[in-house]
Structure 1
Amino acid sequence: MDNNNVSINMKTIEKIINELKEIQNLTPEDAVKYRVNNLIEILAEVTNFNSEESIEDIIYLKMKEAMSKNPDLHVKLYMLYRGLNDGKISKEEAKEMYQNYVQMYPFDSMIY
C-alpha cells in the first residue's frame, strides 16, 4: 500500500497547536483536556515540532494545575519534578512517567 504524504506549512501546524492549547486552557472538563493533549502530542511527534516548553516546565505547570483538583496527582508530579531536577530521573523516564500519571488523572479525581 502506498503512503500518501501531505505537505503542510509549519506555520499552519504551529497555529493548529496553539489553537489546541487555547482550547485545552479554556475547557473545564478533564476528559477534553486529556484528548486535546493527546492531539498536541501526536502533532508534535509527526512534525518533530520542538515545543518551547521543556519537560520540566510541562510537569511544573501540570503540578500547579493539579494542586487544588487532585492532591494525590500533585504529590506524584512534585516527586517526579524533584527527581528530574536533581538528576535522579532521565528526561525520557520523566516523560514516560508523566504520561502515565496524566492518563490516570481523569479517572483518579477525588472529592474532598
Structure 2
Amino acid sequence: DNLSTSKNYVLDASPAALGLAANEYVTEFMAAFGIVPANFRQVEAPRVDCKALAKLTGGTQFVNASDAGGVYNGQWIMATSRWVTRIYAPSKPLPRTGY
C-alpha cells in the first residue's frame, strides 16, 4: 500500500519476510494502480527477480503469466504474456564469479 509510481522499489516476498510456514511459498502477486492520471505509462522496464526452489530438479518446467489491463476510452483493454521457465541442472558446479 501507499507506493509511489514515480519510485522504484525492492519488495521482499521471501517466506521469512512474510512470516510464512516452512512449506508455504509465494506463487502469485499483483500490482494494482487504481485510478491513474492521463498519460500514465512505464518509464523503466518492469522487472521481477525470483529464485526457484532448490529442490526442483533439472528438466522441471513451469508456465509464467503476466496480465496487464485497464480502462481506456470507456473500454477494458488487456494484454497477456505467457512463457515457460525450464530448470537446468549443470553437469558440474558453475565457477564462482566474485559476486
TM-score by length of 1: 0.27
